[in-house]
Amino acid sequence: MQYSTIFKKIERLILTSKNIVLTTHLIPDGDAIGSELAFYYYLKAKNKNVNIINHSPTPDNYKFLDSKNVIKIFSEDIVKNIELIEKSDLIFLLDTNEYNRTKGLSEYLTKSKAKKICIDHHLGFNKNFFDIYLSDTTVPATAILVYKLIKNDNPKYINKKVAINLYAAIMTDTGSFRFPRTTAETFLISADLINRGADPVVIYEETYNKLRKEKIKLLGKFIDSLTFHSKNSLAIGIITQKDLKEHNSDAQDLEGFSTLIMSINKIKMGIVIVEMKNDIKCSFRSKGNLNVRNFAKYFGGGGHKNAAGATFPLQNPYHLKRKLINHYNKFFTK
Ligand SMILES: [Mn+2]
Protein backbone atom coordinates (compact mmCIF):
# COMPACT_ATOMS: atom_id res chain seq x y z
CA MET A 1 0.00 0.00 0.00
CA GLN A 2 1.20 3.51 -0.82
CA TYR A 3 0.85 5.81 2.12
CA SER A 4 2.84 8.84 1.00
CA THR A 5 -0.13 11.12 0.24
CA ILE A 6 -1.85 10.25 3.53
CA PHE A 7 1.43 10.77 5.44
CA LYS A 8 1.82 14.20 3.86
CA LYS A 9 -1.74 15.17 4.79
CA ILE A 10 -1.23 14.03 8.39
CA GLU A 11 2.14 15.82 8.67
CA ARG A 12 0.56 19.00 7.39
CA LEU A 13 -2.22 18.82 9.96
CA ILE A 14 0.26 18.16 12.76
CA LEU A 15 2.30 21.14 11.63
CA THR A 16 -0.65 23.51 11.84
CA SER A 17 -2.01 22.12 15.13
CA LYS A 18 -1.01 23.10 18.63
CA ASN A 19 -3.14 21.04 21.02
CA ILE A 20 -3.37 17.38 20.18
CA VAL A 21 -5.30 14.61 21.92
CA LEU A 22 -4.57 10.91 21.49
CA THR A 23 -6.94 8.16 22.50
CA THR A 24 -7.69 4.49 21.95
CA HIS A 25 -10.20 1.73 22.67
CA LEU A 26 -11.37 0.63 26.11
CA ILE A 27 -9.31 -2.04 27.92
CA PRO A 28 -6.26 -1.04 25.89
CA ASP A 29 -3.83 -3.73 24.75
CA GLY A 30 -0.10 -3.40 24.11
CA ASP A 31 -0.61 -2.05 20.61
CA ALA A 32 -3.00 0.63 21.86
CA ILE A 33 -0.74 1.80 24.70
CA GLY A 34 2.53 1.44 22.76
CA SER A 35 1.21 3.27 19.69
CA GLU A 36 -0.17 6.08 21.83
CA LEU A 37 3.03 6.56 23.83
CA ALA A 38 5.30 6.36 20.77
CA PHE A 39 3.15 8.94 19.02
CA TYR A 40 3.09 11.07 22.17
CA TYR A 41 6.89 11.26 22.38
CA TYR A 42 7.12 11.96 18.65
CA LEU A 43 4.68 14.87 18.92
CA LYS A 44 6.42 16.14 22.08
CA ALA A 45 9.68 16.22 20.15
CA LYS A 46 7.87 18.36 17.61
CA ASN A 47 6.95 20.76 20.44
CA LYS A 48 3.24 19.98 20.41
CA ASN A 49 1.00 20.18 23.43
CA VAL A 50 -0.08 16.52 23.55
CA ASN A 51 -2.40 14.66 25.90
CA ILE A 52 -3.28 10.98 25.94
CA ILE A 53 -6.77 10.47 27.37
CA ASN A 54 -8.10 6.91 27.71
CA HIS A 55 -11.33 5.49 29.02
CA SER A 56 -9.74 2.52 30.82
CA PRO A 57 -6.76 2.47 33.16
CA THR A 58 -3.55 1.05 31.71
CA PRO A 59 -3.34 -2.71 32.42
CA ASP A 60 -0.65 -3.49 34.99
CA ASN A 61 1.66 -5.30 32.56
CA TYR A 62 1.90 -2.20 30.32
CA LYS A 63 2.51 0.30 33.11
CA PHE A 64 6.28 0.02 32.61
CA LEU A 65 5.81 1.73 29.23
CA ASP A 66 4.27 4.73 30.95
CA SER A 67 6.80 5.17 33.73
CA LYS A 68 6.34 8.96 33.53
CA ASN A 69 2.59 8.57 34.03
CA VAL A 70 1.57 10.69 31.08
CA ILE A 71 -1.62 8.74 30.25
CA LYS A 72 -4.74 10.44 31.64
CA ILE A 73 -7.80 8.38 32.55
CA PHE A 74 -10.96 10.16 31.42
CA SER A 75 -13.05 9.53 34.54
CA GLU A 76 -10.30 10.61 36.93
CA ASP A 77 -10.80 14.28 36.06
CA ILE A 78 -13.78 14.54 33.76
CA VAL A 79 -14.02 18.35 33.75
CA LYS A 80 -10.36 18.86 32.87
CA ASN A 81 -10.34 16.07 30.29
CA ILE A 82 -13.45 17.33 28.53
CA GLU A 83 -11.80 20.73 28.39
CA LEU A 84 -8.67 19.22 26.85
CA ILE A 85 -10.79 17.51 24.18
CA GLU A 86 -12.77 20.69 23.52
CA LYS A 87 -9.76 22.94 23.12
CA SER A 88 -7.80 20.48 20.99
CA ASP A 89 -7.39 21.19 17.30
CA LEU A 90 -6.38 17.68 16.33
CA ILE A 91 -7.52 14.30 17.66
CA PHE A 92 -5.99 10.91 16.88
CA LEU A 93 -7.96 7.72 17.36
CA LEU A 94 -5.47 4.84 17.46
CA ASP A 95 -6.00 1.08 17.11
CA THR A 96 -9.77 1.34 16.62
CA ASN A 97 -12.00 2.99 14.05
CA GLU A 98 -15.11 3.27 16.19
CA TYR A 99 -15.68 6.22 18.51
CA ASN A 100 -17.99 4.17 20.72
CA ARG A 101 -15.00 1.96 21.62
CA THR A 102 -13.66 4.97 23.55
CA LYS A 103 -16.76 4.73 25.79
CA GLY A 104 -16.95 7.84 28.01
CA LEU A 105 -14.94 10.00 25.59
CA SER A 106 -17.01 9.14 22.56
CA GLU A 107 -19.62 11.86 22.96
CA TYR A 108 -17.00 14.60 23.39
CA LEU A 109 -14.75 13.38 20.59
CA THR A 110 -17.57 13.42 18.06
CA LYS A 111 -18.81 16.83 19.27
CA SER A 112 -15.35 18.41 19.16
CA LYS A 113 -14.55 20.72 16.28
CA ALA A 114 -10.99 19.38 16.08
CA LYS A 115 -9.81 17.57 12.95
CA LYS A 116 -9.91 13.85 13.49
CA ILE A 117 -7.47 11.27 12.25
CA CYS A 118 -7.84 7.51 12.60
CA ILE A 119 -4.80 5.22 12.48
CA ASP A 120 -5.85 1.61 12.66
CA HIS A 121 -5.57 -1.93 11.30
CA HIS A 122 -9.06 -3.29 12.01
CA LEU A 123 -11.83 -3.85 9.52
CA GLY A 124 -14.25 -0.95 9.61
CA PHE A 125 -16.59 1.20 7.61
CA ASN A 126 -16.49 4.52 9.39
CA LYS A 127 -14.19 6.35 6.95
CA ASN A 128 -16.65 9.26 6.79
CA PHE A 129 -16.30 10.01 10.47
CA PHE A 130 -12.68 11.07 10.08
CA ASP A 131 -10.88 13.83 8.25
CA ILE A 132 -8.04 11.43 7.52
CA TYR A 133 -8.17 7.65 7.70
CA LEU A 134 -4.87 5.76 7.72
CA SER A 135 -5.94 2.15 7.71
CA ASP A 136 -4.29 -1.05 6.59
CA THR A 137 -5.81 -4.36 7.67
CA THR A 138 -2.81 -6.31 6.35
CA VAL A 139 -0.39 -5.03 9.00
CA PRO A 140 -0.22 -6.93 12.30
CA ALA A 141 -0.25 -3.83 14.52
CA THR A 142 -1.25 -0.17 14.46
CA ALA A 143 2.31 0.49 15.62
CA ILE A 144 3.60 -0.52 12.15
CA LEU A 145 1.65 2.39 10.64
CA VAL A 146 2.82 4.74 13.40
CA TYR A 147 6.43 3.64 12.74
CA LYS A 148 6.09 4.33 9.01
CA LEU A 149 4.47 7.69 9.59
CA ILE A 150 7.18 8.87 11.99
CA LYS A 151 9.99 7.47 9.85
CA ASN A 152 8.56 9.17 6.79
CA ASP A 153 8.72 12.48 8.66
CA ASN A 154 12.26 11.94 9.94
CA PRO A 155 13.88 8.71 11.26
CA LYS A 156 15.63 10.77 13.99
CA TYR A 157 12.29 10.94 15.81
CA ILE A 158 12.44 7.20 16.46
CA ASN A 159 14.52 7.59 19.62
CA LYS A 160 14.88 4.96 22.32
CA LYS A 161 11.62 5.81 24.07
CA VAL A 162 9.63 5.69 20.82
CA ALA A 163 11.40 2.47 19.80
CA ILE A 164 10.58 0.69 23.08
CA ASN A 165 6.89 1.56 22.78
CA LEU A 166 6.62 0.58 19.13
CA TYR A 167 8.45 -2.70 19.76
CA ALA A 168 6.18 -3.56 22.71
CA ALA A 169 3.14 -2.80 20.56
CA ILE A 170 4.32 -5.03 17.71
CA MET A 171 5.46 -7.85 20.00
CA THR A 172 2.13 -8.02 21.82
CA ASP A 173 -0.16 -7.62 18.80
CA THR A 174 1.69 -10.36 16.89
CA GLY A 175 1.52 -12.71 19.90
CA SER A 176 5.32 -12.51 20.06
CA PHE A 177 5.76 -12.71 16.30
CA ARG A 178 3.59 -15.72 15.56
CA PHE A 179 0.10 -14.51 14.58
CA PRO A 180 -1.00 -14.68 10.91
CA ARG A 181 -0.14 -11.16 9.76
CA THR A 182 3.49 -11.43 10.95
CA THR A 183 5.73 -10.88 7.90
CA ALA A 184 9.36 -10.31 6.99
CA GLU A 185 8.59 -6.58 7.19
CA THR A 186 7.42 -7.04 10.80
CA PHE A 187 10.87 -8.43 11.64
CA LEU A 188 12.74 -5.78 9.65
CA ILE A 189 10.90 -3.01 11.49
CA SER A 190 11.39 -4.76 14.84
CA ALA A 191 15.11 -5.14 14.08
CA ASP A 192 15.34 -1.42 13.39
CA LEU A 193 13.58 -0.74 16.71
CA ILE A 194 16.10 -2.97 18.52
CA ASN A 195 18.91 -1.05 16.83
CA ARG A 196 17.34 2.14 18.16
CA GLY A 197 17.29 0.93 21.76
CA ALA A 198 14.36 -1.45 22.28
CA ASP A 199 15.53 -4.41 24.39
CA PRO A 200 13.53 -7.54 23.37
CA VAL A 201 14.44 -9.43 26.56
CA VAL A 202 13.42 -6.67 28.95
CA ILE A 203 10.24 -5.82 27.06
CA TYR A 204 9.11 -9.47 26.99
CA GLU A 205 10.00 -9.93 30.66
CA GLU A 206 8.08 -6.81 31.74
CA THR A 207 5.04 -7.67 29.62
CA TYR A 208 4.63 -11.38 30.23
CA ASN A 209 6.65 -12.50 33.22
CA LYS A 210 5.23 -10.32 35.95
CA LEU A 211 2.00 -12.19 36.53
CA ARG A 212 0.32 -12.10 39.90
CA LYS A 213 0.40 -15.48 41.62
CA GLU A 214 -3.39 -15.18 42.09
CA LYS A 215 -3.80 -15.19 38.32
CA ILE A 216 -1.93 -18.48 38.00
CA LYS A 217 -4.07 -20.05 40.74
CA LEU A 218 -7.19 -18.76 38.96
CA LEU A 219 -5.87 -20.27 35.72
CA GLY A 220 -5.66 -23.60 37.55
CA LYS A 221 -9.32 -23.27 38.50
CA PHE A 222 -10.18 -22.39 34.91
CA ILE A 223 -8.33 -25.41 33.51
CA ASP A 224 -10.17 -27.64 35.99
CA SER A 225 -13.47 -26.26 34.71
CA LEU A 226 -12.78 -27.09 31.05
CA THR A 227 -15.20 -29.46 29.34
CA PHE A 228 -15.08 -30.79 25.80
CA HIS A 229 -17.97 -31.28 23.40
CA SER A 230 -18.89 -32.27 19.86
CA LYS A 231 -16.05 -34.71 19.26
CA ASN A 232 -13.64 -32.47 21.17
CA SER A 233 -14.03 -29.63 18.67
CA LEU A 234 -15.51 -27.31 21.29
CA ALA A 235 -13.99 -26.48 24.68
CA ILE A 236 -15.69 -24.39 27.36
CA GLY A 237 -14.33 -22.98 30.60
CA ILE A 238 -16.24 -21.18 33.33
CA ILE A 239 -15.12 -18.63 35.90
CA THR A 240 -17.68 -17.73 38.55
CA GLN A 241 -17.90 -14.76 40.90
CA LYS A 242 -16.91 -17.14 43.67
CA ASP A 243 -13.71 -18.08 41.78
CA LEU A 244 -12.82 -14.42 41.26
CA LYS A 245 -13.40 -13.59 44.91
CA GLU A 246 -11.51 -16.64 46.19
CA HIS A 247 -8.51 -15.70 44.06
CA ASN A 248 -8.70 -11.98 44.73
CA SER A 249 -8.96 -11.43 40.98
CA ASP A 250 -11.01 -9.49 38.45
CA ALA A 251 -11.88 -9.86 34.75
CA GLN A 252 -8.49 -8.39 33.79
CA ASP A 253 -6.80 -11.50 35.16
CA LEU A 254 -8.60 -13.63 32.55
CA GLU A 255 -6.55 -12.22 29.70
CA GLY A 256 -5.01 -15.04 27.72
CA PHE A 257 -7.34 -17.77 28.97
CA SER A 258 -9.18 -18.01 25.65
CA THR A 259 -5.90 -18.14 23.73
CA LEU A 260 -4.89 -21.06 25.92
CA ILE A 261 -8.01 -23.03 24.96
CA MET A 262 -7.20 -22.55 21.29
CA SER A 263 -3.81 -24.19 21.80
CA ILE A 264 -5.52 -27.55 22.39
CA ASN A 265 -5.21 -30.02 19.51
CA LYS A 266 -8.28 -30.31 17.23
CA ILE A 267 -10.17 -27.50 18.97
CA LYS A 268 -12.24 -25.46 16.51
CA MET A 269 -13.97 -23.19 18.96
CA GLY A 270 -13.29 -22.07 22.52
CA ILE A 271 -15.68 -20.36 24.91
CA VAL A 272 -14.88 -18.59 28.17
CA ILE A 273 -17.89 -17.92 30.36
CA VAL A 274 -17.34 -15.32 33.07
CA GLU A 275 -19.91 -14.61 35.72
CA MET A 276 -19.62 -10.89 36.47
CA LYS A 277 -21.46 -9.01 39.21
CA ASN A 278 -24.32 -7.82 37.02
CA ASP A 279 -24.17 -10.01 33.94
CA ILE A 280 -22.33 -12.85 32.24
CA LYS A 281 -19.64 -12.16 29.68
CA CYS A 282 -18.72 -14.80 27.12
CA SER A 283 -15.79 -14.68 24.77
CA PHE A 284 -15.68 -16.85 21.68
CA ARG A 285 -12.57 -17.89 19.77
CA SER A 286 -12.30 -19.99 16.65
CA LYS A 287 -9.91 -21.20 13.99
CA GLY A 288 -10.07 -20.93 10.20
CA ASN A 289 -13.44 -20.40 8.56
CA LEU A 290 -15.56 -20.96 11.61
CA ASN A 291 -17.15 -17.55 12.10
CA VAL A 292 -17.73 -16.74 15.77
CA ARG A 293 -18.83 -13.23 14.90
CA ASN A 294 -22.08 -14.70 13.58
CA PHE A 295 -22.27 -16.94 16.64
CA ALA A 296 -21.96 -13.87 18.90
CA LYS A 297 -24.40 -11.84 16.80
CA TYR A 298 -27.08 -14.47 17.36
CA PHE A 299 -26.82 -13.62 21.07
CA GLY A 300 -26.68 -9.86 20.53
CA GLY A 301 -22.88 -9.64 20.65
CA GLY A 302 -20.26 -8.94 17.99
CA GLY A 303 -16.58 -8.97 17.12
CA HIS A 304 -14.35 -10.50 14.51
CA LYS A 305 -14.47 -13.73 12.55
CA ASN A 306 -12.13 -15.59 14.92
CA ALA A 307 -12.62 -13.58 18.09
CA ALA A 308 -15.95 -12.29 19.35
CA GLY A 309 -18.02 -11.89 22.49
CA ALA A 310 -21.48 -11.42 23.93
CA THR A 311 -23.06 -10.33 27.21
CA PHE A 312 -25.92 -12.25 28.86
CA PRO A 313 -28.24 -11.44 31.75
CA LEU A 314 -27.29 -13.06 35.04
CA GLN A 315 -28.28 -16.73 35.13
CA ASN A 316 -26.83 -20.04 36.13
CA PRO A 317 -23.62 -20.17 34.05
CA TYR A 318 -23.93 -23.94 33.66
CA HIS A 319 -27.38 -23.53 32.09
CA LEU A 320 -25.97 -20.90 29.77
CA LYS A 321 -23.22 -23.31 28.84
CA ARG A 322 -25.88 -25.86 27.78
CA LYS A 323 -27.53 -23.25 25.55
CA LEU A 324 -24.21 -22.40 23.90
CA ILE A 325 -23.40 -26.05 23.25
CA ASN A 326 -26.83 -26.54 21.65
CA HIS A 327 -26.32 -23.51 19.45
CA TYR A 328 -22.87 -24.74 18.42
CA ASN A 329 -24.26 -28.13 17.49
CA LYS A 330 -27.08 -26.59 15.52
CA PHE A 331 -24.95 -24.19 13.51
CA PHE A 332 -21.44 -25.53 13.29
CA THR A 333 -21.52 -29.30 13.22
CA LYS A 334 -23.87 -29.82 10.28
MN1 LIG B 1 -3.86 -3.54 17.34
Model pLDDT, residue 334: 57
Model pLDDT, residue 302: 86
The DSSP annotation for 45-100 comes to HTT-EEEEEESSPPPGGGGGGGTT--EEEGGGGHHHHHHHHHT-SEEEEES-S-GG
Model pLDDT, residue 256: 87
Distance CA 97, CA 114 (A): 17
Model pLDDT, residue 164: 98
Q: What is the CA radius of gyration of the chain?
A: 21
CATH of region 214-332: 3.10.310.30
Cross-strand partners of 283: 272, 309
Q: 135: closest CA among 258, 126, 306?
A: 126
The three-state secondary structure class of 295 is helix
Model pLDDT, residue 311: 95
Q: How far does residue 32's CA lie from ligand 1's centre (Å)?
A: 6
Q: Give the pLDDT means over successive 10-residue stretches in the chain (334 positions).
A: 88 97 95 98 98 96 97 97 98 94 94 96 79 93 98 97 98 93 97 98 96 94 97 97 95 89 95 96 93 94 88 97 96 71
Provide the sign of the torsion angle of the four alpha carbons 155, 161, 162, 166, taken in this order: positive
Q: How far does residue 170's CA lie from ligand 1's centre (Å)?
A: 8
CA angle (320, 325, 331) in 5-degree steps: 125
Q: How far does residue 327's CA lie from ligand 1's centre (Å)?
A: 30
Q: How far does residue 270's CA lie from ligand 1's centre (Å)?
A: 21
Q: How far does residue 254's CA lie from ligand 1's centre (Å)?
A: 19
Q: How far does residue 51's CA lie from ligand 1's centre (Å)?
A: 20
Cα atoms in the 13 Å half-sphere on the side-chain side of 278: 0
Sequence letter at residue 306: N
Q: How far does residue 299's CA lie from ligand 1's centre (Å)?
A: 25
The three-state secondary structure class of 303 is strand
Q: Where on the phi/psi map is residue 326: left (φ > 0), alpha (ψ -120 to 50), or beta?
A: alpha
Q: What is the pTM of this model?
A: 0.86
**Domain boundaries along the sequence of the chain:** 4-208, 214-332
Model pLDDT, residue 1: 54
Q: How far does residue 269's CA lie from ligand 1's centre (Å)?
A: 22
Model pLDDT, residue 11: 97
Q: How far does residue 31's CA lie from ligand 1's centre (Å)?
A: 5
Distance CA 125, CA 261 (A): 31
Cα atoms in the 13 Å half-sphere on the side-chain side of 105: 30
Candidates 3.40.50.1370, 3.90.1640.10, 3.30.450.40, 1.20.120.1230; correct CATH number of 4-208? 3.90.1640.10
The three-state secondary structure class of 186 is helix
The three-state secondary structure class of 244 is helix
Query: Judging by DSSP bridges, how do beta strands 269-275 and 234-239 pair with one another?
Result: parallel
